[in-house]
């Protein structure tokens, strides 16, 4: 018997209602969600109907809130999500998700969402948004004066030496090929400083770094690490041309915004918010350990 007919008969739904329930991810067959109304199921198959379960696309478009108060919202952004729309006017962005979250939780018809920093689309991790116009300038000042801890985890190619260091290279908007880059020329570019510490080596093929931003320029960590010949694994832009393909494929740059630490300018509260490693980076690190070994 077709699944939608079984659902209609067993749960007292119309065929149209049963079809919507299946396609909406509300029907489990033997404990597994099934989205195909035409699937043939036997009379002995155990069905479960969960009408309150959110649709998969709705669940996927939620945000993971790590801290919030009246003035700020700090979330764990997944890789692949834009912070805000580009000129192409993408509909699913962090801006849209945060606005929808605030509308639902605070009952606001037109919630205010302001950005004081950004992380790349393919970078995961912690990002701060302001929820009131009053908070915008104080938090902009916090970031502009670098009175905030911003630390990242990065998996990079090769063995980074020394184990601790500072990369002090100004950045330019166009390095000569239309892309951002670093410059060693005097009085050129904007100051950019990245501090790093090696957390782990994977044989001779890769290193896990903690990177702390002293300044916060666009693509700063990715550019700086590429400039010292240790590009971020999976970085499609700043890796050197002609470099051998990294032996463990990774579909994005292996960069994660791990933590924000600051004194809240509105409440004077000391905060440090840390985002856990996402599953794909955990898997990458586990794969590197298994294939090349680990030296921590």
- Tell me, yes or no, whether 154 and 257 share the same domain: yes
Whether 229 is catalytic is no
Q: What is the rounded CA–CA span in Å between residue 190 and residue 167?
A: 14
Q: Are residues 228 and 99 located together in one domain of the fold?
A: yes
Considering the domain architecture, whether residues 168 and 121 belong to the same structural domain is answered as: yes
Shortest CA distance to 218 belongs to which of 187, 175, 176, 186? 175
Residues 109 and 27 in one domain: no
How far apart are the C-alpha atoms of 256 and 250, rounded to whole Å? 14
pLDDT band for 175, please (50, 70, 90 cuts).
confident
Model confidence band, residue 173 (pLDDT cutoffs 50, 70, 90): confident
Let me know: does 213 contact 153? Beta carbons within 8 Å: no
- pLDDT per position as a tens digit, 272-287: 999 999 999 999 999 9
Task: Name the percent of the chain lying above pLDDT 90.
Answer: 62
Regarding whether 76 and 25 lie in a shared domain, the answer is no
Same-domain status, 48 and 195: no
Domain that holds residue 15: 3-53
Q: What is the pLDDT of residues 93-126, one digit of tens each?
A: 999 999 999 998 888 889 999 999 999 999 999 9
Q: Mean per-residue pLDDT for 162-179? A: 88
pLDDT tens-place string over residues 176-188: 777 788 887 666 7
DSSP category for residue 180: -
Domain count across the chain: 2
CATH number, domain containing residue 288: 3.30.2350.10
Q: Is the distance from CB of 199 to CB of 138 less than 8 angstroms?
A: no
Please tell me which residue in 4, 120, 280, 283 is annotated as part of the active site.
120
Higher-scoring residue by pLDDT: 176, 217: 217
User: 121 and 228 share a domain?
Assistant: yes
State if pTM tops 0.75: yes
């Amino acid at each position: 018997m077709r699944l939608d007919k079984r659902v209609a008969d067993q749960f007292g739904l119309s065929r149209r209602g049963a079809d919507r329930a299946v396609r909406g991810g509300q029907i489990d067959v033997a404990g597994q969600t099934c989205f195909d109304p035409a699937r043939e199921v036997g009379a002995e198959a155990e069905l479960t109907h969960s009408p309150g379960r959110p649709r998969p696309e709705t669940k996927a478009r939620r945000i993971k809130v790590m801290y919030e108060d009246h003035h700020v919202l700090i979330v764990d952004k997944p890789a692949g999500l834009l912070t805000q729309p580009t000129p192409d006017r993408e509909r699913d962005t962090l801006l849209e998700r945060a606005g929808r979250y605030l509308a639902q939780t605070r009952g606001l018809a037109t919630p205010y969402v302001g950005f004081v920093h950004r992380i790349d689309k393919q970078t995961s991790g912690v990002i701060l948004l302001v929820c009131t116009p009053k908070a915008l300038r104080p938090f902009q000042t916090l970031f502009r004066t670098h009175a905030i801890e911003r630390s990242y985890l990065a998996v990079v190619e090769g063995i980074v030496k020394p184990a601790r260091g500072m990369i002090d290279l100004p950045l330019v908007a166009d390095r000569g090929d239309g892309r951002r880059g670093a410059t060693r020329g005097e009085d050129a570019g904007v100051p950019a400083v990245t501090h790093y510490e090696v957390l782990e080596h994977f044989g001779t093929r890769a290193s896990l770094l903690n990177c702390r931003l002293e300044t916060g320029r666009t693509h700063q960590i990715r550019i700086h690490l590429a400039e010292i010949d240790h590009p971020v694994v999976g970085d499609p832009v700043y890796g050197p041309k002609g470099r051998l393909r990294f032996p463990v494929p990774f579909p994005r740059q292996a960069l994660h915004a791990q933590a924000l630490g600051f004194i809240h300018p509105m409440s004077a509260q000391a905060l440090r918010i840390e985002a856990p490693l996402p599953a794909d980076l955990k898997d990458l690190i586990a794969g590197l350990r298994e294939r090349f070994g680990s030296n921590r």
